[in-house]
Amino acid sequence: MTNSSVSNGSFKDTFKKLSTLPFFLPLVGFVLVFIIMVAVTDNFLTYSNLSNIGRQVSINAIIAVGMTFAILTGGIDLAVGSVMALSGTIMAGLMAGGIPMSAAILVGLALGLVLGGINGALIAYAKMPPFIVTLAMMTIARGLALIYTGGYPIAGLDQAFAFFGRGDVFGIETPIIITIIIYVIAYIVLNHTPFGRHVYATGGNYEASRLSGIKVNRILFLIYAISGLTSALAGVIITSRLMSGQPNAGVAFEMDAIAAVVLGGAAMSGGKGTIIGTLVGALLLGVLNNGLNLIGINPYVQNVIKGIIILIAVYVSTEKKKARS
């Protein structure tokens, strides 16, 4: 009796603590969906399926890191999917043309960084709105990918390249390992470095941050460059998984990334959000996708369900303004 009430109390305490986390609701959603899927399907909780989810989630999760930075400053990056495709096809093209794998990957990553940097420069220094700049970059990068490939996939890649999308280390899929490393780095940068704190400050109040002497324009420039880099990294994984450079890869990926960030508790107005929340958001979307597939729900219906879940999650977590007396 005494024992159970004590454990009960500590459970309550833990729950209370958990409930103050900014990503508490998506976490609950993730756990719920997870439990439901385990209950209604036979093959959800298998090693191969969980690995599969991990692989699927990793690409969106990595893109969502850059998106988190952008949204934390009150901006957005719509170019992520196209930049991913362009970096991926260039990497593939270089490899197919005989350039060593490591050099091809470096060029691909550098390209992502440069494209993101162009976005950043236009937003920070030319004072153009992030939505417009990245929308334009979205179509430009996609166009370049199609021009470069002539619209056809590029195959014939170095077999060693398969490691990034299909390989594993001690039985853990490489994309999952890369994702974990990226999230650890992003977590440390956002929470334990001046740069990370300045990202939050810039999004929390741009003008106050600027007047207090924070280099807000440099922050904006850098976060879009980072987003370009994470997009290119996702490009490495997807190109490796498909073992070909696909100019049409990643269409509408920006939407999944935005959904993950917003589900993770971030505010589109900036200043509020966490990197762990984004990971939870990406996982929630991942298990939902996978589970609905396993149950055999029509993909068209899946879209509707995902949209509704995003609306509900954001509605519940929106701070309602208290009515004034």
- Can you give the binding site for another protein, defined by CB under 8 A? 188, 192-194, 197-198, 200-201, 204-205, 207-215, 271-272
SS3 169: strand
What count of residues does the chain have? 325
CB of 220 to another protein, least distance (A): 13
Rg (CA), the chain: 21
Whichever of 166 and 218 has its CB closer to another protein, that residue is 218
What are the beta bridge partners of residue 169? 172
Strand spans (E) along the chain? 168-169, 172-173
- Shortest Cβ distance from residue 222 to another protein (Å)? 14
User: Tokens representing 318?
Assistant: 């929106």
Place of tokens 């957005």: 76
CB of 219 to another protein, least distance (A): 11
**CA angle 144–148–153, rounded 5-degree value:** 110
In the complex, minimum distance from the CB of residue 323 to another protein, in angstroms, rounded to a whole number? 17
Eight-class DSSP state of 318:
S
Rounded to the nearest 5 degrees, what angle is found at the Cα of 94, between the Cα atoms of 88 and 96? Answer: 100
Nearer to another protein, 98 or 194 (CB): 194
Q: Give the separation between CA 163 and CA 49, rounded to whole angstroms.
A: 19
Q: How far apart are CA 74 and CA 137, in angstroms?
A: 18
User: Which DSSP category does 248 fall into?
Assistant: T
Beta carbon nearer to another protein, 171 or 213: 213
Minimum distance from CB of 191 to another protein (Å)?
A: 9
Nearer to another protein, 167 or 204 (CB): 204
Q: Closest separation between CB of residue 108 and another protein, Å?
A: 27
Distance between CA 87 and CA 107 in Å, rounded? 8
Sign of CA dihedral 293, 295, 300, 305: negative
Reduce the DSSP state of residue 50 to 3 states and report it. Answer: helix
Pick 137 or 262: Cβ nearer another protein? 262
Q: What is the smallest separation between the CB atom of 278 and another protein, expressed in angstroms?
A: 19
Exposure letters 307-318 (e unless 16+ CB within 10 A, then b): eebbeebbeebe
Q: Which is nearer to another protein, 23 or 200 (CB)?
A: 200
Q: Give the list of residues 6+ apart from residue 279 with CB closer than 8 angstroms, or none.
A: 61, 64, 183, 264
Q: Which is nearer to another protein, 134 or 202 (CB)?
A: 202
In the bound state with another protein, the residue whose beta carbon lies nearer, of 202 and 289, is 202
The CB-of-216 to another protein minimum distance in angstroms stands at 8
